[in-house]
Structure 1
Amino acid sequence: MLFAVVLFFFSGVVVDARYAANWTSLDARPLPTWYDEAKLGIFVHWGVYSVPGFGSEWFWWHWQGQQPPDPKCVSYMSKNYPPGFSYPEFAPQFHAQLFDPHQWADIFKASGAKYVVLTAKHHEGFTTWDSPFSWNWNAVNTGPHRDLVGDLADAVRNQSLHYGLYNSLYEWFHPLYLIDKKNGFKTQEFVINKLLPEMYNMVVRYKPEVIWSDGDWEAPDTYWNSTAFLAWLYNDSPVKDTVVTNDRWGAGCACKHGGYYNCKDKYTPGQLPTHKWEKCTSVDTYSWGYRRNMRLSELMDLPTIIKDLVQTVALGGNYLLNVGPTAEGTIPPVFEERLRGVGAWLQINGEAIYASKPWRDQYDNTTLPIWFTSKGSTVYAIVTVKPPKSIVQLSSPKTSSKTKVTLLGNPKPLAWSPLHPNAGLTFYCLSFQKHLDRPGL
């Protein structure tokens, strides 16, 4: 059970600028304020890999790319598909016939998330929109015969949520990419003829407010022409004032360049970073895409998700929680249950999360694990385990006669006393345990 205690102690706007195509200039761009205030986003990995639904979204690579191939993937194919079956043959089976974007958007809204990031293209190269640069390998020419990116964009924005798109820079088996790779990335046939035209088209068409770049690590940012693209994005694109980007723009860029930092999947810093960051993680701890063979024990439970969210926000980060829909276009009920559970907790405790800032001390473990957030003179102490009794001690706060302590969801002030002269406090109340047992906590 997790809850937030409010301690009342009485004691970024984007500027108009032109950015040059270099990291010194691009990194100086202020992060649009909506992103830091949002705190929680939903990540959605959905593509052709959802059809085999085995192992992970890297199924094609594990089956036919890496050497030697993953024997589990080879066995899965030999047992369930005819000899000679190719990965592209999965695309016509990606029907998405049960996809209801408004239902998805309702779930995302109920989760308490403020933004949604959908995979427009993963490393397999299949686009979930009608890319003119991905002929017959997109969701309109085959499979659903539907603009999945556009349909979800409308539904998400109708719920007043920000909409973003994940885009992989590289593609495992694209012929032009393989040529450039063979040439040691001294040629840019893939970048000039496929990647950049597609990205420009995607931004102008869908106006994403998050561009979640990936697949950058095999080549430097100079190969990808990353700085030129970002300069256009920040200066002249239709989302120049609101768009945010991550740090995956070339080998060595992670945790160094970009709008906010991912650093690595499921990244958790040991201390408060000096730069805005985001933790991306998945309800399914083994995969980002849908897996038919997932087990309940392999999923994050609700208390774990909330604790992870709290720690991330206390350390100044945003939390991007992933779910993988089925090839039919449904969000598995176990994922929906997790998302709605997070939303129920945020309905009571969201004040301690949204638009909050890290406090001078982020963590207190005097008697219980407690994370702090703040807004001005208000400090939120988020207790991440159920106390053995209705008494909690905090060593960090500096108190005075004007200090007031309340429990979110309960308007009555809590009785408290100093732990030390002018420092720390002990608070307690008879209704404390009853509050912890309320639904959604």
Structure 2
Amino acid sequence: MIMPSIVNTSLLCLIYISILPLSLCATKYQPNWDSIDSRPLPAWYDEAKFGIFMHWGVYSVPSFYSEWFWYRWKGAEPYPQVVEFMKENYPPGFTYADFARSFTAEFFDPAEWADIIKASGAKYYVLTSKHHEGYTNWPSNSSWNWNSVDVGPQRDLVGDLAAGVRNNTDIHFGLYYSLFEWFNPLFLKDKASGFTTTDYRDRVATPDLYDLVNRYKPEVIWTDGSGTAKSDYWKSTEFLAWLYNDSPVKNTVVTNDRWGDDCPCHHGGYYTCYDRYNPGVLQKHKFEDSMSVTKGGWGYAREKPLRSYHTVPQLLTTLIQVVSCGGNLLLNVGPTKDGRIMPIFEERLRQMGSWLKVNGEGIYSSRPWRKQNDTVNSNVWYTKSPKTEAVYAFLLEWPANNIVYLRDPRVTSTTTVAMLGHALPLKWTGAGGRGMNVTLPLLNPATMPCKWVWTLKLEGVK
């Protein structure tokens, strides 16, 4: 016979456990890929859909070719145009380290950057804390005299920007970190040993990662650059187990898949696979397309002509394609050595934001529909709302006859069509059981809801 007091105590315990935060009862992840890969992505990331990336470092001083400037100058196979650039513009004996003193960031205003990021409509932001050159944008204990406090700006750029974003927006703050460094003697020694030695990992990469998480609490950790080493050399699963179990961001942090040469498109959090990954078809695993406003390169490059910059319609097309297929878009711009976001970059970001103010209903928190790209009309892509079951059809081009044929929606007696940003319902007719024809409103430039890419909201369709 069970005593009443025991029953009451057990009931109280069950009630108490039921109201505990789910995080306190979370799975304990083990340092192996089967366990690490089983962790669900925090919901905020899939709902966000759009983020901003920034590559900023010593490479922003020469601001020529790309952020790979140093390697293309002094690497295994130097690029002639980079070598010639140095000969024509700098004296003999000038080293890459000499650029650092000109990385001044005197115009860097974290609040202004935060305002531009917010205006873009992005829900998360990722800054390079260290690229392959090894220079760190925070006072890393592993990078003496090769960091933003010791040489160059003489300020903690990561810390200042984290505060600027968090104090002025509700955007999730994240950090990029390059695991390897092109010319670090410790890494080159480990590589020469076939990665049987681990001095670089133990003295640089691992301490840096723990320091970044504990100091700045990023909600995105975007690793890159395995240097041909596999994840066991980097002890990636050990770090990720700590990150998911015990770190200060264990409940909200998301990670990518670049944790070793064996990882892209196979292990980690969301998949990036390779730069500018836009598969164009529905993916089973959450992915992210990281691309730049410029066509090639990530850091600011002064010599790029206007044709090297993506237009807003091109950027919106990529955003829509990626989201339709279940992914996120991480859009990069490269700030200047003195801390400015160039007007053409700012304009592109603000234009993205103005479009999302009108059409974000079909992007944020959306889900892929049963069709991504219309079967007949290649200029139409779809998403759906998980709450209302509304379907959103994005028109990449406005038809000359003002009539859009949609092959894939199955109309019903309750079907209605609206255009986001336009107050009146739209007329439509069925197409003999094979989709629908939608008549677009007659609008002039002043009454257009947006300048590029228009969104039809379809309700009551299957």
* TM-score, normalising length: structure 2: 0.90
Match of 2:460?
none
- Structure 1 counterpart of 2:112, from 103, 111, 127: 103
1:284 shift after superposition: 1.2
CA 1:282 to 1:429, structure 2 compared with 1: closer, same or farther past 3 Å?
closer
Q: Contact 2:190–2:196 (CA<8 Å) still a contact in 1?
A: yes
1:419 shift after superposition: 1.3
- Structure 1 counterpart of 2:91, from 76, 82, 86: 82
Q: Which runs of 5+ in 2 are unaligned?
A: 1-21, 453-462
In 1: Cα distance, 2:258 partner to 2:377 partner: 40
1:268 shift after superposition: 1.3
In 1: Cα distance, 2:301 partner to 2:437 partner: 47
Of structures 1 and 2, the larger Rg is shown by 2
Match of 2:165?
156
Q: Contact 2:138–2:147 (CA<8 Å) still a contact in 1?
A: yes
1:257 shift after superposition: 0.4
Match of 2:151?
142
Match of 1:3?
none
- Structure 2 counterpart of 1:129, from 126, 130, 138: 138
In 2: Cα distance, 1:379 partner to 1:435 partner: 27
Match of 1:387?
399
In 2: Cα distance, 1:215 partner to 1:425 partner: 48
* TM-score, normalising length: structure 1: 0.94
Aligned pairs (5 A) from 1:158-307: 158=167, 159-307=169-317
Work out whether 1:357 is the aligned partner of 2:361: no
* Percent of paired sites with the same residue: 53
CA 1:150 to 1:100, structure 2 compared with 1: closer, same or farther past 3 Å?
same
What amino acid sits opposite 1:403 in the alignment?
T
- Structure 1 counterpart of 2:425, from 397, 405, 413: 413
Q: Contact 1:157–1:163 (CA<8 Å) still a contact in 2?
A: yes
Match of 2:383?
373
What amino acid sits opposite 1:303 in the alignment?
P
- Structure 2 counterpart of 1:401, from 413, 437, 448: 413
- Structure 2 counterpart of 1:23, from 17, 33, 55: 33
- Structure 1 counterpart of 2:127, from 97, 105, 118: 118
Q: Which runs of 5+ in 1 are unaligned?
A: 1-12
Tell me, what secondary structure is at the counterpart of 1:292? coil
1:365 shift after superposition: 4.8
In 2: Cα distance, 1:97 partner to 1:420 partner: 65
In 1: Cα distance, 2:335 partner to 2:260 partner: 29
In 2: Cα distance, 1:370 partner to 1:429 partner: 14
Q: Contact 1:368–1:392 (CA<8 Å) still a contact in 2?
A: no
- Structure 2 counterpart of 1:33, from 25, 38, 43: 43
Aligned pairs (5 A) from 1:48-67: 48-67=58-77
1:438 shift after superposition: 4.6
What amino acid sits opposite 2:435 in the alignment?
G
Q: Contact 1:49–1:57 (CA<8 Å) still a contact in 2?
A: yes
CA 1:384 to 1:339, structure 2 compared with 1: closer, same or farther past 3 Å?
same
Q: Contact 1:390–1:432 (CA<8 Å) still a contact in 2?
A: no
Q: Contact 1:47–1:126 (CA<8 Å) still a contact in 2?
A: yes
CA 1:338 to 1:232, structure 2 compared with 1: closer, same or farther past 3 Å?
same
In 2: Cα distance, 1:436 partner to 1:269 partner: 35
In 1: Cα distance, 2:245 partner to 2:146 partner: 31
1:437 shift after superposition: 4.2
Q: Contact 1:368–1:385 (CA<8 Å) still a contact in 2?
A: no
Per-residue displacement from partner, 1:399-436 (whole Å, max 9, x unpaired)? 11111111100132111111123x51111144356688
Match of 2:323?
313
- Structure 1 counterpart of 2:333, from 303, 323, 329: 323
Question: In the comparison of the two structures, how many residue pairs are matched?
Answer: 427
What amino acid sits opposite 1:427 in the alignment?
V
Match of 1:8?
none
Per-residue displacement from partner, 1:241-262 (whole Å, max 9, x unpaired)? 0000000011121000010000
Which structure would you say has the larger RCO, counting Cα contacts within 8 Å and 6 or more residues apart?
1
1:179 shift after superposition: 0.8
Q: What CA RMSD, in Å, does the superposition of the two structures yield over aligned residues?
A: 1.5
